Chain A
Amino acid sequence: MQTTMVAALGALLLGVIALTPGCADQAAATGTSATASTRHQLTGAELYSIHCNRCHPERYPTERTAAQWKTITLHMQVRANIPGNQARMILKYLQDNSGR
């Protein structure tokens, strides 16, 4: 019983998140975050170096083609729980520097 309730609550929470896409972006845009003004928007290269070697040794952009990166980045986005907009920035960085 308890488990079912916990799961239901979790599903509800996720439902709310699902229905309000862009909520975090809005908060940032309106400057509600106190530190937002002092911090800059992270670039694709920075996001790449934050995420892409924390679970495994870094895989270099030149190791794959632009097309392959599109598929692999989606794979990693799901596996590593990277928000879609950040994954797109990482993908752009990888494709701009990809091998051919």
Chain B
Amino acid sequence: MKKHMKTSRWMTGLVAVGCAAGMGAAPRAAAEVSQADFDSLKDLVLKLSDQVQSLRQTNQLEQQLHEQDVQQIQQLQAKLAETSRTATDAQQKAVAASQTAPMPRVPIDEATVNHNFQILGDAEVQYAKTSGQNGSFVMADFAPIFLYRGGDNVLFESGFDFILQNNPQNSNPATPGATTTVNLSFAQLDYVINDYLTLCAGNLLLPLGTYSERSAGWLNKFPDSPLARGFVPGNGVGAELRGAAPLGESGALLNYAVYGVNGPSSSDNTGQAGSLDLGGNVGLRSDNVVANLHGNPTGGGRVAVFVPFKPHYDLELGLSAQSGEWDNAGQHLWTAGVADATLHLGPNLEAKGEYIVSRYGSDDLGNVTQQGWWAQVGYKLAGLNLEFPGINNLELVGRYDSVRDGMGGSTQRTSFGGVYYISNALLFEGAYEFLHSTDPTQADQIILQLSYGF
């Protein structure tokens, strides 16, 4: 480029000098030059002027090219600056990332220690409105669970329920307000004998069906329990052997449990049908007398098969039973049987239910047979792949309950509800329950509950 510019300037100069010389010489020479000479000179001048013209044009073109080049250079410079900026940015980011990247895993001493104590549990706050009554908030439950592990084979686990309740309005005016009750839901020592058998002793959650062993506010999709669960005890004081053995290599299991517990008793020492007390008989009276309230312990057990077809697709079928004397005189047997089923079809669909029957002898009504069943279906809307905000956290649930208490009472209940998963352990549940009952105090109700598993 520079070389071109120099040449064109030099040539323009040359032409100018030539012209000046030509003009200066012209008048003196006019007389002496021939027409032919003049013409050839004129031609030459014309040619020269043409050349000058074309040179000027090339120069102009070159000027333009030069400007374009300058622009290009500026653009390139700008680009270069930008590139180097992104490069330094990237470098800084890389440095920052390498500072926050997880350190390589080192074994944690804590994980290898032999003893460990932990508190888990759940808490629930309820709002309930029964038709014909005032709606109200109910601080239903604070249920911590204490776990103490010693070595690989010993675990002590216990769960409490702290419940706050209003005192009855017609109670002693000296004790108005509310009462806090503490329930020991379970407190058992587990000793793992081998891979297939564990010995448990204490206040056990009973494997009569699966409901009692699998309930906590953040597990249940309805804020309240199935009605038929009222026919069997949820826990009992005694000892249990339980475990599972693999059936083949697909993950299928045979589950088993046998136990002996004090069993149900009579609330007033009689054998009247209405005196059956499923929750009593814990071995110690409140006046500190050690007492099994009837002569013989109660035995029970459960067998079940669990078949996973693939992750999130499985079926569990179980049969369980418990039987023993219940009245103080040891005259009458109380026997219960439960069939339970749980089905998962993918991560979004769950169906489960139980059939419960119990029969016991009594002084006044002879044999009383109580029976009921419940079935519950839940579907997580995430399965629909919809785009609406929040819809993927919602599960719709339905449950049907039916009970006959063997003394003329029966209730059917249909419940519809939803669970909104704020997180995997914080749930907002709502249910509307339609009730048909021979008991006039039972009515439709709406229950809202916030449950947290911690």
Contact = CB atoms under 8 A, between A and B. Distances in A.
Contact of B118 (A3, A36, A57, A68): A68
Contact of A70 (B116, B214, B251): B116
B299 A6 contact: yes
Contacts of A13: 256
A75 B311 contact: no
A39 B299 contact: no
B149 interface: yes
Interface in B294-334: 298-301, 306, 308, 311-312, 314, 321, 323-324, 333
A58 B218 CA distance: 11
A23 B197 CA distance: 13
Given A7-B301, A17-B197, A56-B453, A74 B192 contact: yes
A14 B197 contact: yes
A15 B312 CA distance: 33
Of the listed residues A17, A81, A83, the one surrounded by the most CB atoms of chain B closer than 10 A to its CB is A81
Interface string A10-38: 11011001100111100010000101100
Interface in B132-147: 147
Interface stretch (B30-38, B86-94, B240-248): B240-248
Contacts of B111: 65-67, 70, 95
B249 A53 contact: no
Q: How large is the interface on B (under 10, 10 to 19, 20 to 34, 35 or more residues)?
A: 35 or more
A35 B246 contact: no
Interface string B275-299: 0000000000000000000000011
B116 A71 contact: yes
B421 A57 contact: yes
B214 A55 contact: yes
Given A71-B118, A74-B155, A82-B244, A21 B195 contact: yes
Given A67-B116, A71-B149, A75-B147, A18 B248 contact: no
A63 B219 CA distance: 17
Interface of B: 108, 110-111, 113, 116, 118, 120, 147, 149, 152, 155, 157, 190, 192-198, 200, 213-214, 216, 218-219, 241-251, 253, 255-258, 260, 298-301, 306, 308, 311-312, 314, 321, 323-324, 333, 335, 342, 344, 347, 421, 424-425, 453
21 contacts: A2-B323, A3-B323, A18-B197, A22-B195, A24-B247, A28-B249, A35-B248, A39-B250, A46-B251, A54-B314, A56-B214, A57-B425, A59-B425, A66-B108, A70-B116, A72-B147, A77-B198, A81-B243, A82-B253, A83-B243, A84-B192
Closest 8 CB pairs of A and B: A84-B195, A7-B299, A66-B111, A81-B244, A49-B311, A3-B323, A10-B258, A67-B110
